Each structure stands twice: as structure tokens, then as C-alpha cells.
Amino acid sequence: MVDLLVTGGAGFIGTNFVRYWADRHPHDRITVLDSLTYAGKAANLDGLDQVRLVRGDIRDTRLVCELLATGIDTVVHFAAETHVDRSIGDPDIFLDVNVQGTHSLLKAARQTWIDDGDGRPHRFHHISTDEVYGSLGPDDPPFTETTPYAPNSPYSASKAASNHLVRAYHRTYGLQTSVTVCSNNYGPFQFADKLIPLCLINCLTGKPFGIYGDGMNVRDWLHVDDHCRGIELALLGGRSGETYNLGGDAALPNLAVIDLICNGVDRAFRADPSLAGRFPQAFAARGQRSATLKTYVADRPGHDRRYAVDTGKIGAELGFRPRCAFEDGLERTIAWYLENESWWRPAPGS
């Protein structure tokens, strides 16, 4: 049995992970620590009896120590500021939360498990992003775990710094750690400021959406369920002190992803005429193509051109393979947003 602290467990990937873990490990205790920023929702965890949500900040080291002292032996650390555009406009909060916040957790873990602890087995698992490796040229090989870090945005720089801190706590203090470095995720519960839900919701509400530059920036997409399974493998079988890359073998230019979403929405409206009544502002409700809403805007400063992830290490050591093909996962994601309008539609007056 594992006694888990999941930070950021009310955000996109955290929610999916808590639900995934609760389903497969019904006897484990799960404590979620989340400050419920714009990206976190307490209601995401409704109906999960084995989960306790603590509203609090990862930078509050005393609170984290109190939580760890209740018997927690495993931290899975998702909590972060995560939106690259926001990090360009307001980098300070990214350094505060992603760097200081991670350090606060590491300090609490060291104090509880090593300094005051009884040496029992523990694990501090850190969730990171392929953006720490920087940008690839068209013919460069995919990122491996030994690719030198070259972050290009305040977000990715803050994530790179947090990865280094996790490594340092393993090497210096003997903290039992692991890190998964993952490509772009998609699936249910993702806040509407990220590419896939933004484009999808704008299709449903008839609003144009901006495409940076020429739209040919390439991202590798991993369904969030596959990410959760990769984390589970690394947590239960991964070697302490190691980093494992996770990716979906689904590298696509942003424009191709957007076209798949637009076509998927148009198809859903053709298949279910009741959608036109529920989403009357959608172009698809009038039989027009959602792709008409595409608008090209000036490129983002420091915009990475291409990411691709080599998942050979976690494949060979832990048997990880992505199971969800991108087109299938995208169709399921579109269906989830169509079925869960009240989750993403702002309440009247908010």
C-alpha cells in the first residue's frame, strides 16, 4: 500500500492521475494538496472517498511537513504554474511556485523522511516537461534523458531549475527521487487556456482562435491516461535518482492538430443534430466549417519550433508504450467536452 501526497491534484493532469490511481489502488490513501488557482477545481475530485483535499500552498513548508508526518511515504508533485504565455507576461510567479515551491516540498520531504525519519522507504516523484530540453531542428534526433537542458521560456526555465533541485536532493541528501519528463498532454479536465481545449471550446462558441506564426510548430501528444500509467510505472518500478522521458509517438504540427479538432467538431454536429440546439453559436450548428474560425497571429517570443521525445529508456526498463492513438484520444476528448459543458462554461456573472 502507498500513502500518497499529490500536489496540484485538482489541476488537469493531477485530477486524471488521482482518478487513475484511486481506480487501480482502491486501498491507498490519497491526500491532495492544491491551492486551487484558476487551473484547479475542487469539484474535479468529487465522489472519490479515499481522497482528502487540503487547500494549501506547496510553498508552506510547515503545512507540507504536517501532512507528511501523517504517514505519507510518496509525493507525486504536479503543482506548478504551467502556461507558457502567462510566464512571458508574469515570470515571477513561475519562479516562486515552480522553483521555490518545489524546494519547499523537497525540504519538507528531507526533514520528515531523512532528518527526523526512521529511514523507511519513500519516494519523491517530480513531474516535468520536455520543454526543459529546448527546441529541435527539423532533422535533430528526439530528446533523450541526457540531452542538455536549453529552456527557452520562463516556464521551461523554472521547470528545468526544479528538476535540478530534485537531482541535487537525491545526490546530496539521499532523498529517494524519480522524475518523469513528458511531452504535451491532452484529455479531460484540461483548463481552456491550453491549445486543444481552447480551440475546441472556441469552435463550440463560435469564437475565432489565434494560431501562432505559421502554425507549423511541432509537438508530441500523449493522452493523459498514458501519462498516468507512465508515472505509475516510474513510481512503482523506476530506479531512485533516475529520470524517464514519456511521449506519445504522435508528433504533429499545431495546424494539423487544429484541423483535426475542427473536423472532429463538424463531424460530431453532423452525427448529433441536438448539438446545434445546445451550441447555437458554433459555425457547425449552421453547417459551416469550424476551420473558418482559424486566425493567424504574430508568433510568440521564444516559441520552440519542434519537440520530440525518445521513450526508449522507460520502454526498455519498465515496459512503457503509449496505448492511445492520437485520433482516438482526440475524439474521446471532444466527446468529453461536449458532455461536460458545465465544467468549462463560466458560470453566469463570473
Using CB under 6 A as the binding rule, the residues of this chain from 176 to 195 that contact ligand NAD are 182, 184-185, 191
Q: Which is nearer to ligand NAD, 82 or 176 (CB)?
A: 82
The whole-angstrom separation of Cα 155 and Cα 217 is: 18
User: Residue 59, interface with ligand NAD (CB under 6 A)?
Assistant: yes
Instruction: Kindly state the cell numbers that stand for 154.
Output: 520562463
User: Residue 289, interface with ligand NAD (CB under 6 A)?
Assistant: no
Burial class (CB in 10 A: 0-12, 13-18, 19+), 51: buried
User: Residue 40, interface with ligand NAD (CB under 6 A)?
Assistant: yes
CB 169 within 8 A of CB 124: yes
Closest CA to 40 of 29, 50, 52, 55: 55
Binding mask of the shown chain, residues 117 to 146, with x at each position contacting ligand NAD by CB under 6 A: ----------x-x-----------------
Catalytic status, residue 130: yes
Binding mask of the shown chain, residues 90 to 109, with x at each position contacting ligand NAD by CB under 6 A: -------x---x--------
User: Residue 58, interface with ligand NAD (CB under 6 A)?
Assistant: yes
Residues 6+ apart with CB under 8 A from 172: none
Element of type H or E holding 7: strand 3-7
Q: Helices 224-237 and 12-24 sit at what angle, rounded to 10 degrees?
A: 60
User: Residue 57, interface with ligand NAD (CB under 6 A)?
Assistant: yes
Q: Please report the sign of the dihedral spanned by the C-alpha atoms of residue 165, residue 171, residue 175, residue 176.
A: positive
Q: Which of 4, 5, 6, 11 binds ligand NAD (CB under 6 A)?
A: 11
How many helices, marked H, and strands, marked E, lie in the chain? 13, 12
Catalytic status, residue 131: yes
Set 155, 169, 244, 337: catalytic member: 155
User: Residue 149, interface with ligand NAD (CB under 6 A)?
Assistant: no
Per CB under 6 A, residues contacting ligand NAD are 7-8, 10-14, 33-37, 39-40, 57-59, 78-80, 82, 97, 101, 127, 129, 159, 182, 184-185, 191
Which residue numbers are catalytic?
A: 130-131, 155
